[in-house]
Each structure stands twice: as structure tokens, then as C-alpha cells.
């Protein structure tokens, strides 16, 4: 597996987003199968594994960290573990997609890191992300806690997710950031406005939902159904029946590129962002071995900068459905 550098941290060119093993995509996956999947990922050269303290179920809110801690324990020296702090779910809400409550108070961060270290069965987290910004806490305050945790050896690097340019600059000035982690795909390009700043400051970009929650794999058909009680895709606009018709031009573009490069639609979607910038690392999630192999193969596809520019121009002008933009954050 090819390597990339996020800030000063070396990782595999493609990471593994682990959330869907436990959270938001129906009931948690089979435990033994996920242990085997993570082991296969490590043996295939993947080094970057992303989780968070809130990826779980009402019965076990920290299910994913516990799973990943167990899975990576035999391979800890070969793994870069990314986890997150700063959110908790509002389980009193009646919404199908539970809102999250931001909490980045220093004392809350301290509780979070100790819990994550225990669940992950490790003495340090490789990169620790503020999951969402907390309007009640200044970035400099969060950055100071991160500096303290780095000095104590409990984390090696830190980053922020879904933050504004001003927040990123202020946080980075206080304690240098290694990476940001934001949604990014052919359907969700609104964070490209941050690219000049990221290059200026030497900050990497971990891209979650790089396949638009799976739509760009082209494995779904109009009318596909999801469990409204446990699967977030049930409410995502890109999976509405009419969206498949709206996105026909997008699918045709991706299919044409897939034919040209003898690749799958998913591989083209990943290769597109890999070839845009050397500091972008997509972290697609999966529960399936064949999908993991498919995603890994995207790192070997080389699309020229001229063709990337042509793809971007086409994406900017074609009709496209709405795409899911994230979970609602409510005040504490």
C-alpha cells in the first residue's frame, strides 16, 4: 500500500472508516467478521483506522472503540488510530437521526481521552480529533488541552472536524494541527474552499464519506429500502427514488471513467480525490472483504491533472441531487 503524509504523520494512502461496523448502518456487524476484516486490512497494508467515542448503539454507546481496540491490539505497532472527542448523542430526541450535543470543555476532553484509551486498549491515540466545534469553547482552549495531552504522551497528533477556516487557523496557531477530517466526495465538494489554507499551513485532509455514503459505488438502485430505526441512509436525500434519475449524468461520468481505467465506480471516486492532492486520504467504510479489496485498489489508479480538471468542470455544471450533509448539532 502506498503511503501519504498528513502533516508530519505517515499513513496508508487509504484508511478504513470503522463507524459503520457499529453505528448508523443498521445493527452492528458480526463481531468475529469485523475482527477478521480489520486483520485483513492490516495485512493488506492499511495503517489508518478511524473511530470515535460516540460510534455505538443505545445499549453500548462506545461499541466501535471497544471493537477496534480489540481488533488492533495484536497489530498496535502497525496501526495509526484516529478517534474523536467533543460530542454526545441526544437520546431524548424523537428524531430518526439523533442530534448530537457539542461538549469540548477541558474536563470533558480529559474524561473522553481516558475512556478512549481504556476502550482502545492502548497507551496513546495517534491522532485525536475534535468531532465538532463547541460554540461555548474557544479553539485556543481546546488547543491548550491538546498540547497538554501531547506533552503527556496520551496523543501524538490532533485535528478538527467540520470547522471553519477561522477556527482552523486559530487552533493551528495555538497547537499545530496535523489534519482536518471532513465530508468529501464528488457530490460534496463544499470544503474545497479550505484547500489553499491547508496547503499554506501543511495540514492534511482525512475525507470521510468519500463515496457519498455508498451511493457512488453504484450498488444501489432506485427504490432501495433501509431500516428507518437503525440506518441513517433511510433519510439521506441521495437515496430517494427520484435522486437516481437526477444523478444519471453523474453516474454516466463515473461509469465512463471506470471503463477507461478498467476500474469500478467506487475506485474512480476514490482515485479522483487521491489524484487531486497528495495530502488527501479517504477513509471509506465497509463491512465486506471484497469492498475493502476494491477500495485498496483505488490507490493504484493514476488520473492526470488535466483529466481531474475536466472532471471537476463537469461536476460543477451537471445536475445533481442533494447529498447528506451531516448530523444536526444542538446546544448543550
Q: Which residues are catalytic?
A: 55
> To which residue does cell 505517515 refer?
10
Q: What is the 3-state secondary structure (H, E, C) of the chain?
A: CCEEEECCEEEECCCEECHHHCCCECCCCCHHHHHHHHHHHHHCCCCEEECCCCCCCCCCCCHHHHHHHHHHHHHHHHCEEEEEECEEECCCCCCCCCCEEECCCHHHHHHHHHHHHHHHCCCCEEEEEECCCCCCCCHHHHHHHHHHHHHCCCEEEEEEECCCHHHHHHHHHHCCCCEEEEECECCECHHHHHHHHHHHHCCEEEEECCCCCCHHHCCCCCCCCCCCCCEHHHHCHHHCHHHHHHCHHHHHHHHHHHHHHCCCHHHHHHHHHHHHCCCEEECCECCCHHHHHHHHHHHHCCCCHHHHHHHHHHHHHCCCCCCCCCCCEECC
Closest C-alpha to 162, from 325, 332, 21? 325
Estimate the crossing angle of helix 265-276 against helix 248-261, to 10 degrees.
80
> What is the phi-psi region of residue 239: left when phi exceeds 0, alpha when psi lies from -120 to 50, beta otherwise?
alpha
Are 281 and 13 within 8 A, CB to CB? Answer: yes
Amino acid at each position: 500500500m502506498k503511503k501519504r503524509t498528513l502533516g508530519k504523520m505517515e499513513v496508508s494512502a487509504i484508511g478504513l472508516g470503522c463507524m459503520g461496523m457499529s453505528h448508523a448502518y443498521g445493527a452492528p456487524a458480526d463481531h468475529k467478521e469485523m475482527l477478521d476484516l480489520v486483520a485483513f486490512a492490516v495485512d493488506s497494508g492499511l495503517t489508518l483506522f478511524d473511530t470515535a467515542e460516540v460510534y455505538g448503539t443505545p445499549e453500548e454507546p462506545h461499541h466501535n472503540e471497544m471493537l477496534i481496540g480489540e481488533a488492533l491490539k495484536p497489530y498496535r505497532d502497525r496501526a495509526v488510530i484516529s478517534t474523536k472527542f467533543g460530542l454526545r448523542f441526544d437520546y431524548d430526541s424523537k428524531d430518526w437521526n439523533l442530534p448530537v450535543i457539542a461538549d469540548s470543555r477541558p474536563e470533558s476532553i480529559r474524561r473522553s481521552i481516558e475512556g478512549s484509551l481504556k476502550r482502545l486498549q492502548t497507551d496513546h491515540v495517534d491522532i485525536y480529533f475534535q468531532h465538532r466545534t463547541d460554540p461555548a469553547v474557544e479553539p485556543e482552549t481546546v488547543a491548550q488541552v491538546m498540547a497538554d495531552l501531547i506533552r503527556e504522551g496520551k496523543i501524538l497528533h490532533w485535528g478538527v472536524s467540520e470547522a471553519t477556516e477561522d477556527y482552523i487557523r486559530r487552533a493551528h496557531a495555538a497547537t499545530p494541527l496535523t489534519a482536518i477530517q471532513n465530508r468529501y466526495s464528488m457530490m460534496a465538494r463544499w470544503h474545497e474552499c479550505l484547500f489553499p489554507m491547508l496547503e499554506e499551513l501543511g495540514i492534511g485532509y482525512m475525507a470521510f464519506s468519500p463515496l457519498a455514503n455508498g451511493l457512488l459505488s453504484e450498488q444501489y438502485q432506485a427504490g432501495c429500502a433501509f431500516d428507518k430505526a437503525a440506518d441513517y441512509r433511510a433519510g439521506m436525500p441521495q437515496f430517494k427514488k427520484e435522486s437516481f434519475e437526477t444523478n444519471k449524468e453523474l453516474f454516466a461520468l463515473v461509469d465512463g471513467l471506470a471503463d477507461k481505467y478498467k476500474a469500478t465506480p467506487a475506485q474512480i471516486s476514490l482515485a479522483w480525490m487521491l489524484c487531486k492532492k497528495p495530502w488527501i486520504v479517504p477513509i471509506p467504510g465497509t463491512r465486506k472483504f471484497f469492498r475493502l479489496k476494491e477500495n485498496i485498489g483505488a490507490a493504484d489508479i493514476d488520473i492526470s491533472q488535466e483529466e481531474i480538471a475536466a472532471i471537476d468542470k463537469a461536476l460543477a455544471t451537471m445536475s445533481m441531487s442533494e447529498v447528506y450533509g451531516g448530523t444536526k448539532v444542538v446546544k448543550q
